[in-house]
C-alpha cells in the first residue's frame, strides 16, 4: 500500500507496480532459497530433494533482494521505464516489509542471537536452542533489533525521498536504493555478529561479507553519481 501511494503520488502507472510485485515475489522466493542452498550445500548434497522443501526453513534475505532486484531490472528494461526511478519508489516499502517480516522469526523461535542476561533477552525453548548452547535459556532477540533498525530505516528513506523530490540534482535517480543498501547493510552487519545461525564461508559470516561489499559499492556509486549530477 505504501508503494502504491508513492507510485500514484508521482503520477506513475500503478499497473507496473502490480506486475513488478508479482514477478518480484516469485524471483525473491527463488533467490532466497538458492542463496541459502549455495552457502549450505553440504546439508543437501546427499539429499537433493530437500532443496525444494522450503517449508523446512532456509530462506536468506540477501538472496531475496538479489532475486527481486534482478526481476525488476528485467521488467523495467522490457517496458522501457527507468529502473533506478522505480527502485527508488519501491525500496522504502521493502525495508518496511522486512521490519514486519522479522516477527516471523519470533513466532518460529529462530534467528536469535547469543545467550544474554540482559532484561530484554528472549526465552527460547529447549528444542530450538543450538546443541552447544542448550544450557542457556535467554538469548539476544536479534530479529527484534533488526526489525527496529529497519523501521527506523523506513522513516529515513521516506525523508530522503522528500529531499530527492526537492533537490533532484543532489539525489539523482537510484540514490534512495543506494541509501537503503548502505543503511540496511550497516545494521545487518553489526547485528549478524550476535547471531548463532549465520551462513558461513570458512570462518567468515556470509551476511557480514556481503554487507561490506554492498556498502562499498553503494557508497562509490552514490559519490560518483552525485558528483556528476551536481557538476553537470
Residues 6+ positions from 196 with CB-CB distance below 8 Å? 112, 113, 114, 130, 133, 139
Contact 86, 16 (CB under 8 A): yes
Contact 171, 164 (CB under 8 A): yes
pLDDT of residue 169: 93
Contact 123, 94 (CB under 8 A): no
Which parts of the chain register pLDDT below 70?
232
Instruction: Cite the DSSP H helix spans in the chain.
Output: 2-9, 14-39, 61-78, 83-101, 103-108, 142-166, 175-192, 206-231
Provide the sign of the torsion angle of the four alpha carbons 125, 130, 134, 135, taken in this order: negative
pLDDT of residue 55: 83
pTM higher than the cut 0.85: yes
Region label for 58, one of left (φ > 0), alpha (ψ between -120 and 50) or beta (otherwise): left
pLDDT of residue 3: 96
pLDDT of residue 76: 98
From the list 112, 117, 137, the residue with the least C-alpha distance to 125 is 137
33-85 tens-digit pLDDT: 999 999 999 889 888 988 998 888 889 999 999 999 999 999 999 999 999 99
Give dist(CA 142, CA 155) in Å, integer. Answer: 20
The structural domains of the chain, with segments of one domain joined by +, span 1-81, 91-232
Q: What is the largest CA-CA distance in the chain?
A: 62
Give dist(CA 184, CA 174) in Å, integer. Answer: 16
Amino acid at each position: 500500500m505504501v508503494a502504491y501511494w508513492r507510485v500514484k503520488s508521482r503520477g506513475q502507472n500503478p499497473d507496473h507496480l502490480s506486475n513488478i510485485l508479482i514477478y518480484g515475489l516469485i524471483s525473491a522466493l527463488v533467490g532466497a532459497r538458492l542463496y541459502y542452498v549455495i552457502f549450505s550445500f553440504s546439508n543437501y548434497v546427499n539429499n537433493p530433494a530437500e532443496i525444494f522443501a522450503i517449508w523446512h526453513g532456509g530462506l536468506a534475505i540477501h538472496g531475496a533482494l538479489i532475486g527481486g532486484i534482478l526481476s525488476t531490472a528485467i521488467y523495467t528494461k522490457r517496458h522501457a521505464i527507468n529502473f533506478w526511478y522505480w527502485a527508488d519508489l519501491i525500496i522504502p516499502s521493502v525495508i518496511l516489509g522486512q521490519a514486519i517480516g522479522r516477527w516471523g522469526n519470533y513466532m518460529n523461535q529462530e534467528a536469535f542471537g547469543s545467550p544474554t542476561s540482559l532484561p530484554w533477552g528472549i526465552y527460547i525453548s529447549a528444542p530450538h536452542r543450538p546443541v552447544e548452547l542448550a544450557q542457556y535459556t535467554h538469548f539476544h532477540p536479534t530479529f527484534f533489533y533488526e526489525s527496529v533498525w529497519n523501521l527506523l530505516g523506513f522513516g529515513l528513506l521516506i525523508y530522503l525521498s522528500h529531499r530527492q523530490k526537492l533537490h533532484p540534482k543532489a539525489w539523482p535517480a537510484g540514490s534512495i536504493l543506494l541509501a537503503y543498501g548502505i543503511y540496511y547493510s550497516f545494521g545487518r552487519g553489526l547485528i549478524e555478529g550476535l547471531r548463532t545461525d549465520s551462513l558461513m564461508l570458512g570462518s567468515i559470516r556470509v551476511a557480514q561479507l556481503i554487507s561490506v561489499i554492498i556498502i562499498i559499492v553503494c557508497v562509490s556509486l552514490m559519490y560518483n553519481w552525485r558528483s556528476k549530477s551536481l557538476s553537470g
